[in-house]
Amino acid sequence: MKDNDENEKWRARLTSEQYRITREKGTERAFSGAYWDCHEDGVYRCVCCDAPLFDSAHKFDSGSGWPSFWQPLDEAGIARAEDTSHFMRRTEALCANCGAHLGHVFPDGPAPTGLRYCINSASLRLAAKE
C-alpha cells in the first residue's frame, strides 16, 4: 500500500516524462532536453525533492546531447548504483535525498575529476543565480 501511495504522490507532482525518467529509470532522447545546451548560471536541483545537485560552473559540453557535469555540488548529494540494464555495465547516478534516477556517471570526463555526470534534463530544475 505504501509503494502505491508513494507512486501516486510522484505522479501527481511530476509530468509524465519526469515520472518516467526519475521514478522508472527512463532516459530522454539525446539533444531533446531543456538543459543539454543551456548556458545560464545557477544551481540544478532535483525535480522531485528540490535538493541541490549540480552547479552550472561544473557543466561542460560533452557532445553527448545530455547535460554533463564534471562534479556534483556535493558528493553526498549523489548516490551511485550499479546498472547492468541494456547489456551494459554502468554507474547510475541517483538523488541521495529521494532516490530519483538522474542519469549515469562515466570515467571519461575532463580534469580535474575525470568524471562525466551525464544527467537527464527532465530530472533537473535550474534555479537561476540572482
The domain ranges of the chain are 2-128
pTM of the model: 0.92
**Residue 1: what pLDDT?**
47
Beta strands, E only, 1-130: 42-46, 52-55, 59-60, 68-69, 78-83, 90-95, 101-106, 116-119, 124-128
What CATH homologous superfamily does 2-128 map to? Peptide methionine sulfoxide reductase. (2.170.150.20)
Among 46, 48, 95, 118, which one carries the catalytic annotation?
A: 118
DSSP structural state of residue 14: S
The span from the CA of 90 to the CA of 97, in Å, is 21
Residue with cell 561542460: 60
State yes or no: is 118 an active-site residue.
yes
The span from the CA of 112 to the CA of 70, in Å, is 8
Q: Work out the pLDDT band at 51, boundaries 50, 70, 90.
A: very high
* pLDDT, the chain, mean: 93
